[in-house]
Structure 1
């Protein structure tokens, strides 16, 4: 018996462990602290009333023999939810069929699991800085990883280059951690590149609900994407499902390599390794896509976007270079006085009683940057920015 040696190549996941340790040490020394936590990207508002109502109704159904549900018809999701998601795409002007939608327990799971259907010999291209899951899941499989430099000069939106040949391309827009958003022309360049390389784009649209009109919310708004892209989305940030766990993956029927349907492979993989999302959660998710559900969840998104606006206004007043905020729940900025990310983290914690996330935790290009989350309380967000502005 041998263990998977690729796990030994993973860097220690120290970021949030280190943050938690530093915060715990601070609170032990200062039990009467007034910490404002802006580091983790977890939501704070409750679920929408229409979602709660749907959950109660579905729970009642599970209590009666006539309406009880056991195993899902298949692991891809109940037809009622897949059709609701397809209708949502139609409202965005994107043609997606219900059969092209696969319901899962969140974008993180699907983004990590999708690599099962790709050969380990493929070369992977990811931006730096980057959401760690993209890197770690491919290290576990032993794939070669190359990095596209995201930096201040390109607004943390790297573009394809001829010297970056790749088979699997990760794009997150709006980006985590930087909050930067690609426009249509930029995404078209990536789609054209993928088609030329005969590569697949893994497009993470977990934060699409924060995008302003005029910017693409789905990779399938871009001509040619149906032949080279897979889209992952989550209800975690759209509808506050971080504790509920529900998302979906879209694979168009046109996506084939060597005559093999990618959707068919994913369906086969899920059927073997996944039993599907529970019925109550799927009914809750269905409610998100009703007219009232969209209104209520958009109200919550607007709340977080107002928080982001407060953060952006403060950073502009201070003259700090930043991305994100306007189309994202994250604001990513250069630390003042040429501080490193960890150095500025310690300063905010000890001097301002604010918890952020140092950019070094997302890759070498994150050095000297800080990420703040807009998913907190409105009054605390205002207070935090006032503390930062006081210097």
Structure 2
């Protein structure tokens, strides 16, 4: 008789955003007249920039001509033109990442979960809490031991390493999803030093680096001395360039990053990751990679900057409303997310229900991101400008 992976039975029955969708759909069915404004899921609303669209069309046209048709990409790591473009993008903010250390993927979420394939199941995983659910779920699916570092109001939702706690793999996200907090250079240096001292590997999610506005917040962990011997970095075009429906991102595994096998021999994690991807992933389509490369051109960068500023202005609108109401929050400044403290001591799902029923606004309950998320709530700035203004007017009306 077939046996299931019983680690899945230990997970929540549904993914967080499925539970939210069920609640919203039930309310909508009961109140079809309701004008619901969705500020929960972190999906963009502005279209892909013209430079990317034009490049994708050109790539699709090339696929229809025998002389320029593309089948499997030889290395499986992504076309050289895109990896070189990503490498050049790193150089634009002062970080040296060779193209050969970069692999193109179909978005950061998949690689954040898949990267653990190259590590043993007996590793201890340290995750800052609150956390993006994929970090926790992908490791619990494999039965790994998961421990947490508390990110809470007392430390500005920026957990720091504890020398009394030993972890093999560490997940960090900066700017953070869901809290919007971001590590300074000095704080990241502490994590890098901890990892190198303990032989740990940091899985660094930089999906929101394009939203950083402050000079002391690194755009990449490789801006920190010593990071290439302890860190794997993942980034995505989903939020920076509107690729949520296109699916493209990249993972960096430095040549310098090594680990020890059980026989004491030194193993290249880059080689292991390449081997894993060669067996389980056939790469991102050629037209999508063409579009992604266009994002890193001067024209593409200028166009996505306009979109990012649009979302940043939405974040300012949300922040201004919360300031007016006297509600504590983090995020918004270096992140598209606003992480607010639920008013009047309300629980996060309680506040979700209040906001849905009294204001017809949907957000994300902090409890869905971990125990330190209880009592907090995430709003996204990825919506329409006018709808964001309207949502904040409704919020102020019910909370004033």
TM above 0.5: yes
Give the corresponding residue for 2:149: 148
SS of the residue 1:47 aligns to: coil
Residue of 383, 386, 389 corresponding to 1:382: 389
Matched, 1:238 2:245: no
Residue of 222, 225, 237 corresponding to 2:224: 222
SS of the residue 1:103 aligns to: strand
SS of the residue 1:237 aligns to: coil
SS of the residue 1:233 aligns to: strand
For structure 1, which runs of at least 5 residues remain unmatched after alignment?
A: none
Q: Distance in 1 between matches of 2:6 and 2:30?
A: 41
Q: Distance in 2 between matches of 1:278 and 1:74?
A: 13
Matched, 1:352 2:353: no
Give the corresponding residue for 2:330: 323
Q: Distance in 2 between matches of 1:49 and 1:14?
A: 34
Q: Distance in 2 between matches of 1:344 and 1:30?
A: 19
- Do 2:328 and 2:341's aligned partners in 1 also have CA atoms closer than 8 Å? yes
Residue of 275, 282, 301 corresponding to 1:294: 301
Residue of 362, 365, 370 corresponding to 2:369: 362
For structure 2, which runs of at least 5 residues remain unmatched after alignment?
A: 261-265
- Do 1:74 and 1:275's aligned partners in 2 also have CA atoms closer than 8 Å? no
Give the corresponding residue for 2:347: 340
Give the corresponding residue for 2:263: none
Calculate the TM-score normalised by the size of structure 1.
Answer: 0.98
Q: Aligned pairs, how many?
A: 391
- Do 2:52 and 2:294's aligned partners in 1 also have CA atoms closer than 8 Å? yes
Of 19-28 and 153-162, the range deviating more from structure 2: 19-28
Matched, 1:282 2:295: no
Counting only pairs closer than 5 Å after superposition, residues 147-166 of structure 1 correspond to structure 2 as 147-166=148-167
Alpha-carbon distance change, 267 to 14 in structure 1, aligned in 2, over 3 angstroms: closer
Matched, 1:83 2:111: no
Q: Distance in 2 between matches of 1:14 and 1:109?
A: 15
Q: Distance in 1 between matches of 2:134 and 2:31?
A: 34
**Structure 1 residue runs of 4 or more that deviate by more than 6 Å after TM superposition:** none
Give the corresponding residue for 1:194: 195
SS of the residue 2:141 aligns to: helix
Q: Distance in 1 between matches of 2:274 and 2:129?
A: 31
Give the corresponding residue for 1:136: 137
- Do 1:146 and 1:164's aligned partners in 2 also have CA atoms closer than 8 Å? no
Give the corresponding residue for 2:279: 272
CA deviation after TM superposition for structure 1 residue 364, in Å: 1.1
